[in-house]
Amino acid sequence: MTEQIPLDEGHDVVPTPATSLALRDIPVPDYCDVVIVPTRGVTESDPRVWAEAIFSHENVPLTKRGITALRDEAVRLFDMVPPPAKEYVTDEVRGAEALIVDDDENLRIRIGVALLPGGRLLQVTTAVQFLSLRGRIAFAPRRVLHAAAVNTLARRAPTTIRRRGVADGEIPRRGIVGQAARRALSRGPRH
C-alpha cells in the first residue's frame, strides 16, 4: 500500500514519488527520475502554472536557445524546414499534481509536476517507456543528462513565474531607487 500525505491547503493528497500521476500510466518505466527543488518563496499553488513555467520557451537557458537557433539556420541553408519548437501542455491536474503526456510512435513519456506540502518544494517525476528499438536509441543520449536538465529547468521556474507576475501586473515592479531606499532604511544610520 502506498502512502499519501495530506495537504494543508485544501487539496486531498499530494503524491509521493511512488504515487505520482507519471507512474499511473507507466507503472514500471524503462527510465524514471524524480527531481525535487525549492520554490524559492514563490507562493503559486497551481501545479499547472508550475508545469507550464518549467517547460516554457522563456525558461530555457540562453545557451540552449542559441544552439537551437544555430541548428535551425543550418537546416534552412539546405532548404529544409526546421522542426517546430516542442510545446508542452498540461494534460491533467489532480490535487496538487499536473501531468504532461508526451507520446510518439517510439516513446511514452509522462511528466508529473507536484507541489509538496507547505508549497516550499516542487517535485518533477518523469517516466519513460520505450515502444521500439528506435525509441530506446533516440532516448539514449537524453538519458545521460535528463535529470540534470530537468533540475535546471525546475530551478529556473520560480524566476519565470515571478517575471510573468510582474509582466501581468500582479506583482509590483521594484525599481532600483525603491531597492536602494529599502536597503538604506533596513541598515539604519551609519556611525
Q: What is the pLDDT of residues 134-184, one digit of tens each?
A: 999 989 988 988 998 899 889 989 988 988 877 666 655 554 444 444 444
Q: What is the pLDDT of residues 35-50, one digit of tens each?
A: 999 999 898 999 999 9
Calpha distance 115→15 (Å, rounded): 9
Calpha distance 95→165 (Å, rounded): 23
Other residues' Cβ atoms within 10 Å of the Cβ of residue 58:
11
Calpha distance 93→101 (Å, rounded): 12
Q: What is the pLDDT of residues 63-96, one digit of tens each?
A: 655 565 555 566 666 666 655 555 667 889 999 9
Q: What is the pLDDT of residues 103-125, one digit of tens each?
A: 999 999 999 999 998 889 999 99
CB 154 within 8 Å of CB 54: yes
Calpha distance 122→38 (Å, rounded): 6
Q: Has residue 185 got a pLDDT over 50? A: no
Between residues 56 and 18, which one has the greater pLDDT? 56
Strands 5-6 and 97-101: unpaired
CB 108 within 8 Å of CB 131: yes
What confidence tier does 6 reach under pLDDT thresholds 50, 70, 90?
A: very low
Residues in the chain: 191
**What's residue 177's pLDDT?**
45
